[in-house]
Amino acid sequence: MRIFKTPFIITLFSVLILSGCTQIKKITQKKSSPKTEKVSESKIRLFARASKIQTDTIIKDTFSLIEPSIDSLSEVNQLFDTLAFAQSFKNPFGKNNSIEEDITLLNGSAVVHQLDSLAKLNFYDRHHFETDTAILNVYRFAPGEKPAYSDSVYALRIGILDSQTPIDLEYNEHVKGYIKLYADRASKQTARMLGLAEVYFPLFEEVLDKYNIPLELKYLAVVESALNPTAGSRAGAKGLWQFMYGTGKLYGLDQNSMVDDRFDPYKATEAAGRHLLDLYAIYGDWNLVLAAYNSGPGNVNRAIKRAGGLKNYWAIWPYLPRETRGYVPAFIAVNYVFNYAAEHNIYPVDPGILYHQIDSVSVRDVLSFDQIAEYMNIPIEQIEFLNPAYKVGIIPSLNEKNYVLRLPRKYMSYFIEHEDSLYAFKSEKGMEHQYLMSKIKEAKQRTVHIVRKGENLGSIAHKYNTSVARLQSWNGLRNSQIFPGQKLIVYSPGISAPLSKSSVQSSAETKSYHQVQQGENLGAIAKKYGVTIENLRKWNNMNDSLIHPGQKLQLKPNKEEENSSVQKTETKTAETKTGFHTVKNGDTLWDIAKKYKTSVDRLKSLNHLGSSSKLKLGQKLKIPLSS
């Protein structure tokens, strides 16, 4: 590992000349008119001597590589306005020019946890490759080389970043520990985050600018989630901005069984901007805002009180929770590494899509990711990456509320042209319209009943205008025993049971035949269509289970067989022997059914009872004597 003692000013100069000024922000507001003459070697040496830099090799390499463009010269000349800044910089780190980085805060850190989770994130398009390092590697580092710099260089670079923002950026051993993490130990994850920044940073900057918040706070999301849109913490925080459930609700982020807006990059970023603005109204200091964002205002207020009322992050640092003590150092380190990635031989991995290549459309009916993927021939991973807020892959749009779908811009016109057909399309996996509607209605019609002392299933069923059998089915009960405090799921009247995906697929299946494919067997086909092997053999007049590719299998009985089956069932029912039971005080249908070893539904059918029918004392009920 080479040790570079080259201060930041000359590295800025080199980047500007070699990469067309794309990596550097303006350090001052002074305007310079473009000049056509080359920057002289003597001027570079004068600038370098002021910063105590030995630059013979750099100058030789620089002038042999590229001629500075007219556009870049105006930017280059601005660098010489920082001469006074470089001359006045004092090295606070002594002769060794080094301090020991603090890595104690990294053990068990949420920052490290999010970096690890990033490694599992599937990039939008796996077929894209890393950006051209031959262009970005202006320092000619060897592949895999990890440059290290003296503390005075780190401090000077962070000092220049500090001069460009109202946020207090300071270099110390805690910050150094996180610089080593992002630039060295987690350099591969940092390269991925640099790529993801091309997707999310334009959105972040737009919202931050809207609320007049320093743009550098976009790096907060890097610390929070490593720019993983589906990130989650051990404490329950979710999404790019790691909102807790309560805080998300406070800022209007919907959270239910189908949708979690904390995962929506657009809605969560808007909420984060408002939250940061509210915290700044309390503290008036951005570092304290960062601390409060991480640990909550209560912890920050207690730390300020213990520090004697000082409203300064480093003054209250010893009194903050352990995780928060590493939070601002991590933020400063991310700010540094993202601005000086090339100096550490780190280059962005192409995420395959950029912010301006994403478009959105309002969805006016229920739609699943399966439908979109199969109908429009889009990899489902792409849809999931761009729409992380839909937890189960369903967009639950109804008349009263529409949701937004985000897709690559190139697919948007096709979606609009075929929207109606897409809603009607039934995907291969059975996530058709009927199933989607059942899931949404189920979520709306479900109620939780807490059993009270003295209640039984019969009284609860009567209260909700349903049957004991349905209560048992919804709650997986084998008998009628319940206890006070027990929670029972109850659905609205008319709902016999929540539909399962397989049942809807089977009932809604419109195909009458299946053509056998290579490698299929009768068992797999039976499972696919929700039928039995015996039925398939019966419907297709098969003596065994042998099938061959191209063979057509009937998936339903013909009408004659169906009518015959119904007639047999009706005849059997008519032949059932019945008796009578006289209703006594306290009797319920469940008790009576249990006594005569039958079902509640059977009793209702024999006695023409509806869901709202009430038993009367002395009433005579038909009961089956054989079932």
What is the amino acid identity at position 107? N
d(CA 243, CA 487): 29
Q: Is the pLDDT of residue 330 over 60?
A: yes
How big is the CA angle at 251 (ends 245 and 255), to the nearest 5 degrees?
Answer: 40
Residue 499: what pLDDT? 45
CB 468, CB 455: distance < 8 Å: no
- Residues with Cβ < 8 Å from 388, sequence gap 6 or more? 229, 230, 239, 263, 264, 265
Q: Is the pLDDT of residue 377 over 90?
A: no
Residue 6: what pLDDT? 45
Give phi and psi for 446, each to the nearest 5: -85, 135
H-run or E-run covering 359: strand 358-363
Residue 24: what pLDDT? 36
Q: Which tens digits make up the pLDDT trace of 450-461?
A: 888 888 988 888
Q: Which tens digits make up the pLDDT trace of 526-552?
A: 767 777 777 788 888 887 777 887 788
**Separation in Å, CA 426 to CA 338, 380, 431:** 46, 16, 7
d(CA 577, CA 546): 43
Residue 490 β-bridge partners: 447
Q: How sure is the predictor about 507, in pLDDT bands with cuts at 50, 70 and 90?
A: very low
Q: Which whole number is the average pLDDT over 393-402?
A: 81
Token pair for 455:
């209640």
What is the amino acid identity at position 29? Q
Residue 212: what pLDDT? 96
Token pair for 532:
């039995």
Residue 402: what pLDDT? 80
Strands (E), 16-121: none
Nearest one of 41, 36, 83, 35 to 58, comparing CA atoms: 41
CB 276, CB 270: distance < 8 Å: no
Residue 72: what pLDDT? 36
Token pair for 525:
């086909």
Q: Which whole number is the average pLDDT over 507-532?
A: 69
Q: Using a cut of 0.75, tell me whether the model's pTM lies above it.
A: no
d(CA 469, CA 491): 13
Q: How many CB atoms lie within 10 A of CB 572?
A: 9
Q: How sure is the predictor about 439, in pLDDT bands with cuts at 50, 70 and 90?
A: low
d(CA 139, CA 503): 63
Token pair for 31:
């305007």
- Residues with Cβ < 8 Å from 255, sequence gap 6 or more? 245, 248, 249, 261, 262
Q: Is the pLDDT of residue 471 over 50?
A: yes
Residue showing tokens 């305007």 = 31
Residue 307: what pLDDT? 94
Taken in order of first residue, the domains within the chain and their CATH numbers are 3-82 (no CATH), 104-344 (1.10.530.10), 359-431 (no CATH), 445-491 (3.10.350.10), 506-567 (3.10.350.10), 574-624 (3.10.350.10)
Q: How sure is the predictor about 135, in pLDDT bands with cuts at 50, 70 and 90?
A: confident
Sign of CA dihedral 250, 255, 256, 261: positive
d(CA 362, CA 595): 56
pLDDT above 70 coverage of the chain, percent: 67
Q: Which whole number is the average pLDDT over 557-566?
A: 56
d(CA 445, CA 433): 18
Residue 244: what pLDDT? 92
Average pLDDT, the chain: 75
CB 335, CB 169: distance < 8 Å: yes
Least confident segment among 155-159, 209-213, 472-476: 472-476
Burial of residue 410 (CB within 10 Å: 0-12, 13-18, 19+) is: exposed
CB 535, CB 527: distance < 8 Å: no
Residue 481: what pLDDT? 85
CB 235, CB 229: distance < 8 Å: no
CB 227, CB 196: distance < 8 Å: yes
Residue 33: what pLDDT? 32
Residue 104: what pLDDT? 67
Token pair for 105:
């805060």
Q: Which whole number is the average pLDDT over 615-624?
A: 83
Residue 18: what pLDDT? 44
d(CA 179, CA 241): 21
Strands (E), 64-163: 148-149
d(CA 568, CA 169): 84
Q: How sure is the predictor about 37, in pLDDT bands with cuts at 50, 70 and 90?
A: very low
Pairing status of strand 487-491 against strand 513-515: unpaired
Helices (H), 432-575: 433-445, 457-463, 468-475, 501-508, 522-529, 533-539, 559-574
Q: Which tens digits make up the pLDDT trace of 69-85?
A: 333 333 434 444 444 45
Total length of the chain: 627
Residue 383: what pLDDT? 92
Q: How many helices (H) and strands (E) does the chain have?
A: 31, 12
